[in-house]
Structure 1
Amino acid sequence: MYKLFILLFVCFELIACKIKLVDEVVKTYPDGKKAMVNMYEEGDSTKVVKRQIKYYQNGNIEVEGDFENGKRTGKWTYYYDSGNKWSEGTFENDLSNGKFTVWYKDGKINYKSEYNKGQPDGKWTFYDEKEKPIKEVVFEKGNKKSEKKLD
């Protein structure tokens, strides 16, 4: 029973030690509005950037995502100045890795793609303005293997 108590205590402590990020506005527009905000771990005097958000002058987010060792990692989202998503996908070691989606300005899907270590890899599907699939392209390690138009 004592070991169970210790184990539970350690688990609660680990959960409580969740990393807290502190915001710092590092760039502003001439009118004083924030242009870029970097986020650091609380108490980190070296200010290693963990997350970054860039803004359009109208105040909408332009891009947001995480960093690890100075390189993009995890989910990154890019936006049109209207606030609609433009592109979203994952990065690993600053390289596109995994599934990406790109949208038209009106919010409809333009295409879906896949990457592996920065290279196109897998099926890419392109859509018209009504989100009807119109073309599929298959890549393997950066090389186009096939392309077909869809009816």
Structure 2
Amino acid sequence: MPEAGRRRLDQPRATRTRLEFDPERFARFSERVARFLGTGRFLAIQTVIVVSWIALNVVLAAQDQWDPYPFILLNLAFSTQAAYAAPLILLAQNRQDDRDRIALEEDRRRAERTKADTEYLARELAALRLAVGEMATRDFLRGELDKLAERLGAAERPRSGKVSRPGGG
């Protein structure tokens, strides 16, 4: 039985691939960086670093300074930071634009469905109103029954003006 750390000879060697690049992973990383660069925490950290840098160089003026007064090395650090931050921020912006575009398309589809549903319900409501308008209402039926009762009552009364009562009275 082969040891755990040794390669088996009866199996082919795994081919070594070049550096694998996952664009989605890099894009997520760039969004995290862009989000961090836009925070007050980043500005506070950067301010502390810059003030410390300048203070150390001014205090060590008599000794051997690593970055004399025009602070060329500090300027180079800022330039490098800007050179990397700008493309990362743009990449994060492009991803956000893509997400916004997808959300807008989804909202548009949802609005179209809602509009179609609303139009359908409006047509159904109009049809119900027409159907109800053709139906006899309770008040209409009462009025017709009252008219019929009056006609029937007038037909049953004797013409002499006397009203006959049942039971002879």
Please state which structure has a larger fraction of its residues in strand: 1
Please state which structure has a larger fraction of its residues in helix: 2
TM range (shorter): under 0.3
> So what's the TM-score if we normalise by structure 1?
0.17
Asked which structure has the greater RCO (Cα within 8 Å, sep 6+), the reply is 2
